[in-house]
């Protein structure tokens, strides 16, 4: 992958304002994206789409800064969604990854750019099959531009560049993520960092790792050992989980091995294990009863890249509360909102459907995120 020149340190002004649709607007992550976009000069207006219009309107009222309106929509009805996107510039899909393909096809029908928060590996592969359609239409589709996947993909690209880019063979890429919510420890309530069903999918579906250059499945909940995340989380136990980065890292970086490990607070992990064997009705009830992450949460991501000569670079990102919202939510929301701004400025490098490492410059994204409560460090 050719390396582009580093961008200027001063962020460019918007080339044009864009109109944005946010799908799944009543969910956990979307309100932070709406708040971020409401404060972005690149955004002219927003339409918040959700199965529950009243909840979406509440998000518009609280977070939309008079730029947002709400509309009821069922994303599984492609024609209906395409009609709602008519005349809009970009869709930010924060809904379940299960509707990613329908949302992409609606964007193609409406001539609308597309972003999402990830496809949980298997869906990502199916989405990449639409790359030629988006390229032919002159549209951008950025697949997985939350915290992980998303920020971590660009952290990997930054580490590879630090090691010499294509001039140096890459042996392994390790991605580790952790978040902690002090409020959950204090009140004992279930406070998942994002949708419970997605968390359960991550814990129950077989994780995929790259071994000897090929994808391989391992058992769900396979222990990943202790990882030192640094302050304020410190050392924490991890498990391997299914994640979208592993769908693209092999082709993007030519690495011989790669993995994703997650550290959840012990009480949250135990509750999720109980729900893993529960009925759909019990899971739905748990989701209704769960509390939102507090505004005290902190999220940490580590990406460690090792070359075949054993030279290693580790990129660390720490996201703390911002906008009065917790770091775990902002960590996922801010990259998506930043990508809308980069698109408006004409900064995305290529049309078609791509993972972040193939279409976004890490330095441009990092500058955006540093203005949203995230700090980065690089250790070689």
Condensed to tens digits (0 to 9), the pLDDT of residues 183-227 reads 887 877 888 888 888 889 988 999 999 999 999 999 999 999 999
Domain count within the chain: 2
| Same structural domain, 320 and 366 | no
The model's pTM: 0.92
| Same structural domain, 281 and 342 | no
Q: What is the pLDDT of residue 166?
A: 65
Q: What is the pLDDT of residue 191?
A: 86
Contact 245/149 with Cβ under 8 angstroms? yes
- Measured in residues, the chain has a length of 380
Q: What is the pLDDT of residue 245?
A: 96
Query: Residue 282 falls within a domain, yes or no?
Result: yes
Query: Residue 152 falls within a domain, yes or no?
Result: no
Q: What is the pLDDT of residue 277?
A: 82
Query: Residue 380 falls within a domain, yes or no?
Result: no
Rounded CA-CA distance 257/110 in Å is 39
Contact 121/246 with Cβ under 8 angstroms? yes
Q: What is the pLDDT of residue 186?
A: 80
Q: Tokens for 207?
A: 């994780």
Q: Tokens for 124?
A: 């990502």
Rounded CA-CA distance 213/238 in Å is 23
| Same structural domain, 359 and 317 | no
3-state secondary structure of 13: coil
Query: Residue 248 falls within a domain, yes or no?
Result: yes
Contact 246/259 with Cβ under 8 angstroms? yes
Q: Which residues are CB-contacts of 365 (< 8 A; sequence separation ≥ 6)?
A: 151, 154, 335, 338, 339, 342, 356
| Same structural domain, 292 and 364 | no
Rounded CA-CA distance 374/355 in Å is 21
Given 327, 346, 365, the domain boundary residue is 327
Condensed to tens digits (0 to 9), the pLDDT of residues 4-32 reads 333 333 334 346 899 999 999 999 999 99
The residues of the chain scoring below 70 in pLDDT are 1-15, 166
Contact 4/349 with Cβ under 8 angstroms? yes
| Same structural domain, 192 and 226 | yes
């Amino acid at each position: 992958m050719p390396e582009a020149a580093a961008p200027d340190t001063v962020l460019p002004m918007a080339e044009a304002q864009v109109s944005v649709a946010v799908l799944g607007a009543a969910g956990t992550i979307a309100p932070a994206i709406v708040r971020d976009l409401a404060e972005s000069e690149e955004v002219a207006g927003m339409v918040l789409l959700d199965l529950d219009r009243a909840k979406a309107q509440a998000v518009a009222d609280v977070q939309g800064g008079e730029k947002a309106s709400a509309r009821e929509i069922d994303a599984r009805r492609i024609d209906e969604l395409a009609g709602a996107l008519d005349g809009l510039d970009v869709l930010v899909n924060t809904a379940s990854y299960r509707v990613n393909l329908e949302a992409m096809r609606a964007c193609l029908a409406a001539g609308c750019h597309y972003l999402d928060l990830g496809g949980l590996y298997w869906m990502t592969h199916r989405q990449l099959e639409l790359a030629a359609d988006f390229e032919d239409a002159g549209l951008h589709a950025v697949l997985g531009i939350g915290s992980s996947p998303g920020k971590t993909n660009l952290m990997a690209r930054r580490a590879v560049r630090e090691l010499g880019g294509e001039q140096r063979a890459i042996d392994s890429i390790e991605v580790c993520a952790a978040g902690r919510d002090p409020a959950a420890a204090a009140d004992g309530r279930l406070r998942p960092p994002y949708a419970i069903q997605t968390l359960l999918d991550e814990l129950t579906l077989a994780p995929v790792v790259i071994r000897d250059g090929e994808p391989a499945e391992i058992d769900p909940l396979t222990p990943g050992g202790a990882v030192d995340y640094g302050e304020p989380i410190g050392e924490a136990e991890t498990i391997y989980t299914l994640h979208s980065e592993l769908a693209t890292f092999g082709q993007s970086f030519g690495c011989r091995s790669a993995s994703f490990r997650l550290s959840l607070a012990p009480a949250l992990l135990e509750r999720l294990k109980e729900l893993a064997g529960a009925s759909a009705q019990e899971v739905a009830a748990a989701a209704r009863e769960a509390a939102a992450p507090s505004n005290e949460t902190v999220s940490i991501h580590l990406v460690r890249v090792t070359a075949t000569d054993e030279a290693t670079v580790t990129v660390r990102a720490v996201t703390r509360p911002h906008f009065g919202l917790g770091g775990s939510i902002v960590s996922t929301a801010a990259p998506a909102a930043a990508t809308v701004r980069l698109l408006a400025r004409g900064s995305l490098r290529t049309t078609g459907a791509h993972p972040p490492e193939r279409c976004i410059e890490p330095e441009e994204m990092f500058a955006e995120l540093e203005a949203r409560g995230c700090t980065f460090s690089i250790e070689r």
